[in-house]
Structure 1
Amino acid sequence: MPDQVLRLQSILTARDHLLLQWLVDHGVFTTPQLAYALFPSLDFAQHRLTRLTTLRVVDRFRPFRPDGGSYPFHYVIDQLGVEVVAAQRGQPPPRPGQGKANRRRWTAARTFGHRLGVNGFFTDLVGHARTHPDHALTRWWPESRCAQPGAFTRPGSPGDPVDVLALATPIRPDGHGIWTAPTGQVPFFLEYDTGTEPLTELMRKLIGYARLTAAGGPRWPVLFWLHSAARARHLHQHLTGAPVPVPVATASRDQAVRTGPAGPLWHLHGRPGLLTLADLATTSPRGTEAEDGPASESRSA
């Protein structure tokens, strides 16, 4: 039987390979998300995604709306796509049925909408960078990568005491990225809020970031991507008078229709006015792991 992965090498483009890596690392995307991030037009994206579906490197489904009609196509990795990514990364071949298990996991997950929202935040940044060549999302880590032991610490020298953070990371952000602009780099942690948790729970999340910085971890901005401007105001009211150990910035999706998360939407706690994401570079100390830390599994280029 011909090696299908080898056969695909002459068919798949660099953009196709990046898309497959995103699906392996981040799970599920909609057609509009992928079109904005990677393609010159929605029509172009639809044609190429249909072709990739025919090649069986990706699979797709279309959820129904509760009030009638259906959502856009949602894309997940298929078995052959998993094999292509494993070969590209020099990993052992995946077990049979891994693609099917992945599809079932994402279509049935209770956090399905949350994951789509997180991925939409990052694809909006990639799409912005596509039309603004002086900007780039130079790192994009999913929640699972952030939770790995030692993800945000450097290994110690031989003979050093065991680094507690290397054994357990005290934070579980929904994602981590590095936004690069002419003014500098902005490494950040993302907390994607659906509005279902009490604000006290959002406040409690900052305890983990305080532990991370106290143990020598990076003091990067924590971005709360909130569902409404009213919720953002209430969160800042809770932050006032409370110890805030790391830079905290908020923005709301109901204010982001025209600019997306790269635009002047961010309210840095303790500072008046709105900032772009690139403006937050001034809150990040120089010389952190942002410039020479672990390599990203999912880059935007």
Structure 2
Amino acid sequence: MPDQVLRVQSVLTTRDHLLLEWLTDHGVFTTPQLAHALFPSLDFAQHRLARLTALRVVDRFRPFRPDGGSFPFHYVIDQLGAEVVAAQRDQPPPRPGYAKTNRRRWTAARTLHHRLGVNGFFTDLVGHARTNPDRTLTRWWPESRCSQTGAFARPSDPVDLHALAAPIRPDGHGIWTTHGAQLPFFLEYDTGTEPLTELMRKLIGYTQLAAAGGPRWPVLFWLHSAARAHHLHQHLATVALTVPVATASRDHATHTGHSPAGPLWQLHGSRGPLTLADLAAVMPHLANHTQGPGCPHQR
């Protein structure tokens, strides 16, 4: 019987491999998210995604809307795709039935909306960079990798920091590069359902990580609304912050047509609005951003 992984690898492009890695690491994406980030047009994306589905390297489902109709296709990794990624990474192959279990988990997940929101933030950055060659999302880590023991320790750090389980659970971590200036950041994606006191509580972990010798990177709150951002800054004014905090709102982004890379960010204690590149410029200590192991582009 021919090796299915070898067979399918002969027809996969570099972009296809990146898409499969994203699905493995970040779970689920919609057609518009993948089209914006990776393809020249929605039509081109739909045709290629249909081909990858036929090859059985990706799978898809389409949730129904409560008020009728359906959402766009949602893509997840299929079994053969997971085997391709494992071979590329020199890892053991996934267990039989892995993809079916993964697909079922996402179709029933109460966190689906949140995960798509997080992934949309990062695919918006990648899409912005695709049409602006001087800008790059150099690193993209999911929550699961951020929460690993020693995820943000450097090889030269003491053993106790390597052993430290990060007291944070960001929704993602990235490094945004503009003209060589880099902004490493933690992302907190807000759906608007949690009390503001819960958002404030999350900052305790970042403070503890910095106090233990970990990175003091800005925490970016991608908030539900501009009103919520205003109220969060009122709460921030009541505490002594030891890590940088910046906020932006999705309703403002929609109204202005800006991606998360654009002039949407309000750094607490500073004037705004700022772009992600501006945030790097006003925090020169970020030039020493080497905490955490190096990783390949987009991983």
TM-score bracket for this pair, using the shorter chain length = over 0.9
**Structural mapping, 1:221-260, within 5 Å:** 221-257=218-254, 258-260=257-259
Q: Counterpart of 1:97?
A: 97
Q: Map 1:1-301; keep pairs closer than 5 Å.
A: 1-156=1-156, 162-164=159-161, 166-182=163-179, 184-257=181-254, 258-282=257-281, 283=283, 285=285, 286-289=287-290, 293-296=292-295, 299=298
Superposition misfits of 4+ residues, deviation over 4 angstroms: none
Moved more, 136-145 or 105-114: 105-114
Q: Percent identity?
A: 77
One-letter amino acid of the counterpart of residue 60, structure 2: R
- Report the CA distance shift for 1:270/1:183 in structure 2 as closer, same or farther (over 3 A): farther
2-structure distance, mates of 1:122, 1:15? 16
Q: Distance in 2 between matches of 1:177 and 1:125?
A: 10
| 8 Å contact kept, 1:20–1:77 | yes
**Secondary structure of 2:119's partner?**
helix
Contact between 1:165 and 1:212, CA under 8 Å: does it hold in 2?
no
Structure 2: how far apart are the matches of 1:111 and 1:65?
16
1:141, 1:297 within 8 Å by CA — same for their partners in 2? Answer: no
CA shift for structure 1 position 168: 1.1
| CA positional deviation for 1:297 | 5.9
Q: What's the TM-score, normalizing by structure 1?
A: 0.95
Separation of aligned partners in 2, 1:294 and 1:203:
28
The one-letter code matched in structure 2 to 1:52 is: L
The alpha-carbon deviation at position 105 of structure 1 amounts to 1.3
What secondary structure, in the 3-state scheme, does the structure 2 residue paired with 1:75 have? strand
Distance 1:226 1:165, change over 3 A: farther
* 1:88-133 deviations in Å (ceiling 9; x for gaps): 1011111111111111111111111000000000000000000000
The answer to whether the 8 A contact 2:153-2:161 is kept is: no
Task: For 2:222 and 2:7, locate their aligned partners in 1 and report how far apart those are by CA, in whole Å.
Answer: 42
Is contact 1:165-1:215 (8 Å) kept?
no
The gaps in structure 1 that reach 5 residues or longer are none
| Residue aligned with 2:187, SS | strand
Distance 2:91 2:215 in 1: 30
The secondary structure found in structure 1 opposite 2:66 is: coil
CA contact 2:184–2:289 (8 Å) conserved in 1:
no
| Alpha-carbon separation, structure 2, partners of 1:231 and 1:131 | 31
Structure 2 Cα separation of the partners of residues 197 and 23 of structure 1: 27
> 1:229, 1:254 within 8 Å by CA — same for their partners in 2?
yes
Q: 1:297 to 1:172 in 2, by over 3 A?
A: farther
Gaps of 5+ in 2: none
Structure 2 distance, partners of 1:274, 1:183, is 21
- Shift of the alpha carbon at 1:273? 1.9
Distance in 2, Cα, partners of 1:284 & 1:106: 40
Is the contact made by 1:221 and 1:284 (CA closer than 8 Å) also made in structure 2? no
TM-score, structure 2 length as denominator? 0.96
Aligned pair count reads 295
Mapped partners of 2:267, 2:93: distance in 1? 45
2:211, 2:33 → 1: CA distance?
Answer: 37
Determine helix, strand or coil for the equivalent of 2:91: coil
